[in-house]
Amino acid sequence: MLTKFQYNPTAFEQLNHFDVAKSLLETNSHHIDELGDVICQYGLEDVVGLCLLHKHFELNPDECMVKEMAQSAAYIRPFSINYVQSLIPCAWRLGFNTESGQCVVYPLEFVPYSEKAELAYNLAHSINNASGFLLDFSRKLEEMGLTDVFGIFSLHSDIEINDNEILLETTNLRNRILSLVVTSKDEVDWKEITETTWKFTAIKEELDELDPLGICIAHCRRHCGSHCRGHCPIPC
């Protein structure tokens, strides 16, 4: 499904491991709102969010990362691309070719195609068709030197999270499974987790009343989407 941007295993292979990505985030977190502004300027704040590019383990050349949704959790694990017929991309890495002036889009993570995945399909379709946004966003990443630090993901999750909860990612290295589980904030050691996804809300600021066009400028307010705790203390 949605094969405009073909999967390239090398794009995942070149991702930074989480400890490196975490270090890069610490020195580049001040760019998050500026990248969020680009999303909001295109009116895509309900379609796409920002993610920290990283990996916790390696994949075989014939594997890709597939997310399976549950009621209050999600599980991401490698699947052979030879056995999965229909996948919908839900996270991407972007590059910008300075010679051609074109963006390069690499899907990194997928959800299985099914009737329950209609939202993921529609969002991926919208992102695929947002050529102006993809070009400007990838150019911005290139200008900032952040093409290896931040990517984008579709806001396809229907997991409900209350104000006193967060979505926490943990890693089972033995079985190569990432678990995203709704967790009470009271149970979290905040020193041990890292923000890895961000969603944005557009804030409209009216220009001077004398402006004959009456244009509004969209800025953003960020909201954390999920955190990563690293590795499970015990095998899951």
For tokens 């704040």, the residue is 45
Check pLDDT > 80 for residue 24: yes
In whole angstroms, what is the distance from residue 14 CA to residue 12 CA? 5
Average pLDDT for 87-95: 94
Check pLDDT > 70 for residue 81: yes
> Are β-strands 165-172 and 87-97 bridged in parallel, bridged antiparallel, or unpaired?
unpaired
193 in any annotated domain: no
The residue segments making up the domain with residue 203 are 9-160+199-222
Mean per-residue pLDDT of the chain = 84
In whole angstroms, what is the distance from residue 149 CA to residue 35 CA? 12
Q: How many domains does the chain have?
A: 1
pLDDT score, position 30: 94
> What six digits make up the tokens of 28?
């580049």
19 in any annotated domain: yes
| Number of CB atoms found within 10 A of residue 15's CB | 19
13 in any annotated domain: yes
- Encode pLDDT of 142-189 as tens digits: 999 999 999 999 999 878 888 898 888 999 999 999 999 999 989 988
63 in any annotated domain: yes
174 in any annotated domain: no
212 in any annotated domain: yes
**pTM, entire model:** 0.85
pLDDT score, position 150: 98
Confidence label for 210 from pLDDT (cuts 50, 70 and 90): very low
In whole angstroms, what is the distance from residue 187 CA to residue 176 CA? 24
Packing angle, helices 131-144 and 118-129, rounded to 10: 70
125 in any annotated domain: yes
In whole angstroms, what is the distance from residue 129 CA to residue 21 CA? 29
pLDDT score, position 224: 55
| Number of CB atoms found within 10 A of residue 233's CB | 8
* Of 160-164, 195-199, 206-210, the least confident: 206-210
53 in any annotated domain: yes
More confident site: 229 or 165: 165
